[in-house]
Amino acid sequence: MIFTKGPLPDTYIIQPERIEDHRGFFARTFCQHEFAEHGLEINIAQANVSGNRHRGTLRGMHYQAAPHQETKIVRCTRGGVYDVIVDLRPESETHGEWVGVELTADNGHLLYVPEGFAHGYITLTPDAEVSYFVSEFYAPDAEYGVRYDDPAFGIEWPIAVESISEKDASWPDYQRLPAAEQI
């Protein structure tokens, strides 16, 4: 695997190294030893998959508050998505900054999302599928989010939002969240 530091601290874009022959290819997408060599410790508690029927479907921006903060490894396994993370760590020099990365089944890239980041994506193709590993079990009482169009972040989505859940569309402004709901 090729680990490239992301534009925000502690984030990485990971490119599987494909071994190809006449049958197709083989590539490793996770290895605890290789991750540890880059200072990335993750104990996988859950593996999730999200199927999306339509182009322009937005899911996010989600996070779990302490003590259930989670690290994620995200990969698009069918189609393509524009994956966005926002640094919500109060002590971080990049607090409030966001970055977007195109993840597609063709490029095979993975995004390493550390604790303290909100995460979401918009589908660039119909029938996009996203798979991700998380370091913590889902804790409904610790689930929070920020709006995809919150002016505090100014996220620039590459296409219009065509489909979004009522829940994701109605997250409050980050600036108005009680401290218990912030990272």
Whether residue 41 is contained in a domain is answered as yes
- Residue numbers of the domain that contains 13: 2-17+26-171
- Count of CB atoms situated within 10 Å of the CB of 147: 21
Task: Count structural domains, the chain.
Answer: 1
* Domain harbouring 41, CATH code: 2.60.120.10
Whether residue 125 is contained in a domain is answered as yes
CB 26 within 8 A of CB 124: no
Q: What is the pLDDT of residues 91-139, one digit of tens each?
A: 899 999 999 999 999 999 999 999 999 999 999 999 999 999 999 999 9
Q: What is the pLDDT of residues 23-77, one digit of tens each?
A: 999 999 999 999 999 999 889 999 999 999 999 999 999 999 999 999 999 999 9
**Measured between alpha carbons, how far is 136 from 76 in angstroms, rounded to an integer?**
20
Whether residue 183 is contained in a domain is answered as no
Whether residue 88 is contained in a domain is answered as yes
CB 100 within 8 A of CB 84: yes
Task: Report the chain's C-alpha Rg in angstroms.
Answer: 16
**144 catalytic residue (yes or no):** no
**62 catalytic residue (yes or no):** yes
Mean pLDDT of the 177-182 span: 56
Instruction: Give 112's contacts (C-beta < 8 A, 6+ positions apart).
Output: 6, 11, 12, 13, 14, 40, 71, 72, 73
Whether residue 69 is contained in a domain is answered as yes
Set 12, 82, 112, 132: catalytic member: 132
Whether residue 61 is contained in a domain is answered as yes
**Measured between alpha carbons, how far is 107 from 102 in angstroms, rounded to an integer?**
9
End-to-end C-alpha distance for the chain, whole angstroms: 30
Per DSSP bridges, beta strands 57-64 and 143-145 are: antiparallel
Identify which of 181, 91, 90 has the alpha carbon closest to the alpha carbon of residue 142: 181
